[in-house]
Structure 1
């Protein structure tokens, strides 16, 4: 059954077994972490299971705020829109029956096959943020996280503290990995800056040649050593091929997200596109300079003084500034205004100014 808003707090305080359906993407899950922490405080007695995609769940492994993780890929579901097969739905149904959840949060965020199965069961109480749109808050100029927190309050009855920001918990295992990696790479001392060409869409990828030029400037002006974080497909070739100082770069191929997060803590700043890694870096305390194209920094840039956006002033009539979701150009996978995407109009100088500001602020904080 669906609960009335006024009943939400009582339902949370009495729940024994809670299933939290996470959004699919890495960045989306990181943005939900303040709500997760508030939920844990509100229901300390409950056994809390988070359900999501394998890549996003990696950041929550070993997290003390959760009691269990459930991965949709374990039931044969391969992407957010996957309705599943008869066999996968049967296995999911058996798992749900075994778990006996008495409260389910945000069914609408689950993979289609899980969502449809949960709605069909009609067992347990459901509190779902889909009943409240974040758009009114976004139209008032609020950040993406502020809008998410508002719909959490309207849907779950939980008030997320304004000063509670996303935080990824890292343990001793990640610390050991980081120290071993840095020792083997000779990166234990000196200035280390992280960079990444990774993007979920070509429209969100700043040209690799400009990233390479920025990397060379970091070496020449600051004598920096560089960590280049790449995707499983190893997109380092174009960046390294355009650099004069490629020997100062240590390539980090796609790793477990918690290992990546641990390495990001060594970086004085992280320069990237609007990706999940941007959110991960900010959530472990690393200053960020992110290059934006068809997405809005106000919605997606982590709301921290140490996080800066470049490209926000580049005009784009299809950019969504007051609503979540992909711009029309991203849906059609092509720029609808120009031969080149708007992110190609973000100049090196603009990003370099943001990087210098970020490094100066970090140095001042240390002093």
Structure 2
């Protein structure tokens, strides 16, 4: 259904149900920006899981952000109550980026008059405007989400992001790093050794060896980033690095993480949400892809600003049925991540540094 089919003059408040995973939230932002061009006067409210809500409130496309309750402590009754509390916002249109039935049900309970999303998982009856489902593995996630924007009449896709940072945001984090004795170098490197699943994480000791070599060859300093739950993993990597050249910043709000990353020359990370956040703010990326799908989740940044280190196996792209469709290495990791060596990542860093 094209934009001419919508009663645009009667759409004043739009709910944008953001994807569940942090990287997918980033991939959906070009669609949000495209939809904003269709409805420039409407109020946009993002509904997002924590911690994504922390930086979305700074995105110029959104007027407000509502955190979605999620987790083992949030049962069916809590979800129903949350859906009903949304009625007070009087949404005229809801756009559903996640394909979950739960999202469609919550949107229906919110009383939103119009509800658009992919008609997957038998949820078409909960949507007023279901969009024909396609295989999400057949295209990049940015394109997949943008199809919903095109349904509303958005112009051609622009693979770019509006800024969520001000100069003051970046300067505050630069000052914080200086107070910790870090940043007085042309080669400040952000390192994120974590990932959503253990099978996607490159070995901690290999991250440590990479940092040791970069310290020797590039006089690099390091900022280790991750959640509070990843503090132990980060300590493993830090133990292998010159202590005077590194600092760990775990558990920071995402908006502050973005300011830190913006101060860095580049980021080295596993396939993760932080990888995509770095690309969003324009910081060059060296991405280590094990059991990921580069076709669908390649970081959205200019080609000269990224290096992807990955291995091709017969089971690629991975469906994350770990050790059902592949054999574990002696370290209990998939071979697609196990076989990536320090030298390969070091060469990727060197290629990137020749360009940025």
- Residue aligning to 2:80: 89
Q: Which of these residues, 337, 348, 360, is aligned with residue 342 of structure 2? A: 348
- Residue aligning to 1:285: 282
Do the aligned partners of residues 167 and 134 (structure 1) sit closer, same or farther apart at CA in structure 2, a change above 3 Å counting? farther
Do the aligned partners of residues 275 and 123 (structure 1) sit closer, same or farther apart at CA in structure 2, a change above 3 Å counting? closer
Shift of 1:240: 1.9
- Spell out the pairing of 1:259-278 with structure 2 (5 A cutoff): 259-278=256-275
Distance 2:110 2:268 in 1: 45
Q: Please tell me whether the aligned partners of residues 34 and 160 of structure 1 are also in contact (alpha carbons under 8 angstroms).
A: no
Greater Cα shift, 127-136 or 277-286: 127-136
Do the aligned partners of residues 169 and 48 (structure 1) sit closer, same or farther apart at CA in structure 2, a change above 3 Å counting? same
1:106 and 2:96 matched: yes
Shift of 1:26: 0.9
- Spell out the pairing of 1:1-367 with structure 2 (5 A cutoff): 5-6=1-2, 10-12=6-8, 14-73=10-69, 77-78=70-71, 84-85=76-77, 88-93=79-84, 95-106=85-96, 108-109=98-99, 112=102, 114-119=103-108, 123-130=112-119, 131-135=131-135, 139=138, 142-153=139-150, 155-161=151-157, 163-171=158-166, 174-190=169-185, 191-233=187-229, 234=231, 235-243=233-241, 245-303=242-300, 304-305=302-303, 306-311=305-310, 313-317=311-315, 319-320=317-318, 326-329=319-322, 336-339=326-329, 340-341=333-334, 342-362=336-356
Q: How many residues align?
A: 336
Do the aligned partners of residues 70 and 111 (structure 1) sit closer, same or farther apart at CA in structure 2, a change above 3 Å counting? farther
Do the aligned partners of residues 357 and 318 (structure 1) sit closer, same or farther apart at CA in structure 2, a change above 3 Å counting? closer
Do the aligned partners of residues 276 and 12 (structure 1) sit closer, same or farther apart at CA in structure 2, a change above 3 Å counting? farther
Distance 1:271 1:355 in 2: 8
Shift of 1:177: 2.6
Q: Please tell me whether the aligned partners of residues 60 and 162 of structure 2 are also in contact (alpha carbons under 8 angstroms).
A: no
Distance 2:82 2:343 in 1: 54
Structure 1's unaligned 5+ residue stretches are 321-325, 363-367
- Residue aligning to 1:365: none
Shift of 1:236: 1.5
- TM-score, normalised via structure 2 length: 0.85
Do the aligned partners of residues 352 and 167 (structure 1) sit closer, same or farther apart at CA in structure 2, a change above 3 Å counting? farther
Shift of 1:109: 4.5
Shift of 1:59: 1.7
Do the aligned partners of residues 10 and 37 (structure 1) sit closer, same or farther apart at CA in structure 2, a change above 3 Å counting? same
After superposition, give the CA deviation of every residue in 1:1-60 in whole Å (9 maximum; x if it has no partner): xxxx13566345641111111111111101111111111121111111110102111121
1:281 aligned counterpart, secondary structure: helix
Do the aligned partners of residues 228 and 91 (structure 1) sit closer, same or farther apart at CA in structure 2, a change above 3 Å counting? closer
Q: Please tell me whether the aligned partners of residues 192 and 268 of structure 2 are also in contact (alpha carbons under 8 angstroms).
A: yes
- In terms of fraction of residues, the more helix-rich structure is 1
After superposition, give the CA deviation of every residue in 1:140-161 in whole Å (9 maximum; x if it has no partner): xx433233323532x4332343
Distance 2:350 2:4 in 1: 47
Q: Please tell me whether the aligned partners of residues 97 and 145 of structure 2 are also in contact (alpha carbons under 8 angstroms).
A: no
- Residue aligning to 2:122: none
Shift of 1:120: 5.0
Structure 2's unaligned 5+ residue stretches are 120-130
Distance 2:9 2:31 in 1: 15
